[in-house]
Amino acid sequence: MKKKLVDNLKEYLLISAGVELVVLGVYFFKFPNNFSIGGVTGLAILLSSLLGPKISTSTVVFVINMILLVVGYLVIGRSFGNKTAYGSILMSASLSLLEYLFPLKGPLTNEPMLELAFAVLLPAVGAAILFNIGASTGGTDVVAMILKKYSNIDIGRSLFITDLFLTLASFLIFDITTGLLSLLGLLVKSTMVDTIIENLNLHKYLTIICKDPKPISDFILNTLHRSATISDAKGAFSNQEKKIIFAVMNRSQAVQLRRFIKETEPDAFILITNTSEIVGRGFRA
């Protein structure tokens, strides 16, 4: 029970960190420059521009998120998830708080490309952290969950098309420069989130061919606190009996193991592969 409580606390701290990264990128760089890079925040930028200055972008985000939050619980039910609800409420509240504490009258700098970089990078890192633990900031992710429940539509593609339409609308509402920068931001964002998630989950898959697996397997079990699988093999050239050790671990552990093998069995043959999709005990459930 105590371990579960600690794990939940860590998870919600990660959610909070991810949401705040998204909020910082959106409020300080996306809103002031009218970068409509899809999602609820992109829609809020377009709507607040149409509705006039009396209604702030943060308020529009709050209203849309709350509506989608209610719809999510009504349509999807309990499987909607407390993590998504928490992320959605925290994002809306954080944007409103920043608007009260640090009101902005325009962009922070006179460098639109620099602002675009942070408007894409910060939310991309935050979103990657959230997606990696099965959470989100709500918004269009709620729409994705509803579509997934009631149709066979490719969610990733449908959301990209929706974001693309919102981005293209910025050409009509704002100037050509803002529209082009928003389109560039959407294209970069589409690839960046997946790349960041892969790097967060990056592990090393080792295939070790050796004569005596005992010292190596003991080091993996007792020092690195990982497991391994050992199988029999025979060298095609030498025709000698060999053993193959299969193991997966993080990057620092792989460096330690490689150093240990070099010292204890320098003739061992090691194949090291990068992998980010590992399902099983000790990794992803």
Q: What is the pLDDT of residues 110-149, one digit of tens each?
A: 998 999 999 999 988 888 888 777 777 777 767 766 766 6
Q: In the 8-state DSSP scheme, what is residue 52?
A: -
Those residues whose C-beta lies under 8 Å from the C-beta of residue 196, and which sit 6 or more positions away, are 124, 125, 128
* Sequence-ordered list of residues with C-beta below 8 angstroms from that of 43, at least 6 positions apart, any chain: 36, 60, 64, 166
pLDDT tens-digit profile of 220-257? 999 998 989 999 998 888 888 899 999 998 888 999 99
Q: Which residues contact 139 (CB under 8 A, 6 or more apart)?
A: 39, 40, 41, 64, 65, 68, 88
Q: What is the 3-state secondary structure (H, E, C) of 105-159?
A: CCCCCCCHHHHHHHHHHHHHHHHHHHHHCCCCCCCHHHHHHHHHHHCCCCHHHHH
Confidence check: pLDDT of 79 > 60:
no
Q: Quickly count: other Cβ atoms within 10 Å of residue 240's Cβ.
A: 9
- Identify the pLDDT of residue 145: 66
Contact partners, residue 27, CB within 8 Å, separation at least 6: 58, 95, 98, 99, 102, 104
- The DSSP line for 58-77 is HHHHHHHHHHHHHHHHHHTG
**pLDDT value at position 36?**
85
CA distance 236 to 194: 40
| Mean pLDDT, all residues of the chain | 83
Query: What are 94-114's pLDDT values in tens digits?
Result: 998 998 898 888 888 899 899
Q: Whose CA is closest to 87, among 124, 135, 147, 47?
A: 135
Residues 129/21, Cβ–Cβ less than 8 Å: yes
Cα separation of 92 and 192, whole Å? Answer: 24
Task: Report d(CA 32, CA 223) in Å as an integer.
Answer: 52
Query: Quick one: what percent of the chain has pLDDT higher than 90?
Result: 27
**Residue 278 near residue 203, CB atoms below 8 Å:** yes
Q: Which pLDDT tens digit goes with each residue over 187-202?
A: 888 778 778 877 877 8
Phi, psi of 153 (to 5 degrees): -70, 140
With beta carbons less than 8 A apart as the criterion, state whether 268 and 209 touch: yes
